[in-house]
Amino acid sequence: MKATINDVAKHAGVSIKTVSRVMNNEPSVRQSTREKVQATVAELNYQPNLAARNLAGTKSYSIAYVYDNPNAYYVIDMQNGILSACRKQGFELLIHPCDAKKDNITDEVMAMVKQSRVAGLVLTPPFSEMPEFVARISELDVKLVRIMSGDLAPDNLSPCIMVNDHDAALSITEHLIDLGHKDIAFIAGGAGHKSTVERLNGYKQALANHNMPVNPDLIIDGEYSFESGVEGAKQLMQGQVKPTAIFSCNDEIAAGALFSARLMGLDIPGQLSIAGFENSPFSRQTWPRLTTAHQPNEQIAENAANLLIAQTRNQGEQNPVNQYTPQLLVRDSTASPNATGS
């Protein structure tokens, strides 16, 4: 027979309220009592019914992840990181994919919040970077944590996890410059994502640091997709100035660029160096493996969820800001432009 919270309380010699506090990781429990209850929970294999707990009280024990992102690897990493935090802290996770471009998207998410009774939302781009959307959602009785590109939070609407794409992109571009590349191209991601702007600015800053001009013909607009990399590389290699290196806005674009280069008979990295961004599985599934910037998405997501859960419990700072800077990871897809004597 499945153990109940009453069984745990009786076996541990404490009140049902104390068991509830331990299960919810509330701080107002003595360590010795917490350990006794946790041992009893393990012994009886007690598993709280979170859905029933949400319905039974006024406090919600679920959070939602709201996103619109075509990169399946990114979404899976985010989900896994948030789930890890939820499982450790006794929360459930609601996944809500949606279209950020819809005219009534704010109303849709607000309706979801009210119907599902979630305690908070984790927002990733583009939602986290839509100030009017964030302001409207903030009017509800719900907490928010945003994952955003940049080094400083744009406002005080919620806690933020900032990803310093600018400095990481600067590092990748300087790596290519240090190898001896002068004609370095950039294939952008979606224009609606601030990460695209930050990575492009980091690329331009690296060129400026080395007194190298920005050639607009070597900057290609695109989307965060494999197809965008295929078409972008094709366009670049048909241009008047052919690059010896391509910095792609993410690994999926870079994998597409590498595929396109292969179709054109180019040796990688002998005739063309290619770098990506994020260190997604795309970067490890190509040959040669891609030079990239390691962005710890699962860790970022778990941090965001922990911040959110702390906010729902009125714990910690009001609007903390944590920052990650993706780190350069050099692999075999980049080399000197003179590596094969070309």
Q: What domains appear along the chain, each with residue ranges and CATH number?
A: 5-48 (1.10.260.40), 59-164+296-325 (3.40.50.2300), 165-294 (3.40.50.2300)
Determine the pLDDT at residue 182: 97
Determine the pLDDT at residue 314: 84
* SS3 readout for the chain: CCCCHHHHHHHHCCCHHHHHHHHCCCCCCCHHHHHHHHHHHHHHCCCCCHHHHHHHCCCCCEEEEEECCCCHHHHHHHHHHHHHHHHHHCCEEEEEECCCCCCCHHHHHHHHHHHHCCCEEEECCCHHHCHHHHHHHHCCCCEEEEEEECCCCCCCCCCEEEECHHHHHHHHHHHHHHCCCCCEEEECCCCCCHHHHHHHHHHHHHHHHCCCCCCHHHEECCCCCHHHHHHHHHHHHCCCCCCCEEEECCHHHHHHHHHHHHHCCCCCCCCCEEECCECCHHHHHCCCCCEEEECCHHHHHHHHHHHHHHHHCCCCCCCCEEEECCEEECCCCCCCCCCCCC
Determine the pLDDT at residue 320: 83
Determine the pLDDT at residue 57: 45
Look at the pTM and tell me if it is higher than 0.85.
no
Determine the pLDDT at residue 25: 65
Question: pLDDT (tens digit, 0 to 9) for every residue of the chain, 342 residues total?
Answer: 677 777 778 888 888 778 767 766 666 678 888 888 788 877 777 766 554 444 444 456 899 999 998 888 999 999 999 999 999 988 999 999 999 999 999 999 999 998 888 999 999 999 999 999 999 999 998 999 999 999 999 998 899 999 999 999 999 999 999 999 999 999 999 988 899 999 999 999 999 999 999 999 999 999 999 999 999 999 999 999 999 999 999 999 999 999 999 999 999 999 999 999 999 999 999 999 999 999 999 999 999 999 999 999 888 777 788 999 999 999 999 999 976 544
Determine the pLDDT at residue 26: 67
